[in-house]
Amino acid sequence: MAERWRQPFASSEAVRRRMSAQRREGTGPEVALRHELHALGLRYRLHVAPVPSLRRKVDVVFSRARLAVFVDGCFWHGCPEHGRRHHGVNGWYWPDKIARNRTRDLDTTARLEAEGWRVVRVWEHDLSSPAGTRAVALEIRALWQRATGGGAPPSGQL
């Protein structure tokens, strides 16, 4: 079989449509995390660029806390635990696309931090169970509380 990952990134119309829907609405794990955050009373903006000059979109944005949360898919963002599983048994390396994603992720984090933002990157695998998702949401709430001076998040505030 040809090297599958060398095929065009979105090789069919169906894949292209699915991927663009994911960018708009988020993946399943990201949606699950958002539901937990919402249940904890946190409010956020989705898929916006919090620093307009950077033009980098963030999955979940807490503007007042200056907190940026990314949910990184294990495969496309090169998770050290699960990235390699997809590359077969004859050794592995990150396909160019994944290497580029990782470089860009690090760059995005550095640029946001330089603008005074706190950046949290969550691996998709941390959201593979309800308990795991809950734990991540609680960590994010703790960061939110620290950043905003503690207390319960007032409803409707970002």
Pick the piece of the chain touching Zn ion (CB under 5 A) from 59-67, 75-83, 135-143, 148-156: 75-83
Give me the DSSP letters along 1-52.
---GGGS-SS-SHHHHHHHHHHHHH--HHHHHHHHHHHHTT---EEEE-SST
Q: Does 33 bind Zn ion (CB under 5 A)?
A: no
Counting Cα atoms < 13 Å in the Cβ hemisphere of 102 gives 14
Q: Does 82 bind Zn ion (CB under 5 A)?
A: yes
Count of residues interacting with Zn ion (CB under 5 A): 6
**What's the token pair of residue 42?**
């946190």
CB of 7 to Zn ion, least distance (A): 23
Residues 121-150 interacting with Zn ion (rule: CB under 5 A): 123, 125
Q: Point out which residues bind Zn ion (CB under 5 A).
A: 74, 79, 81-82, 123, 125
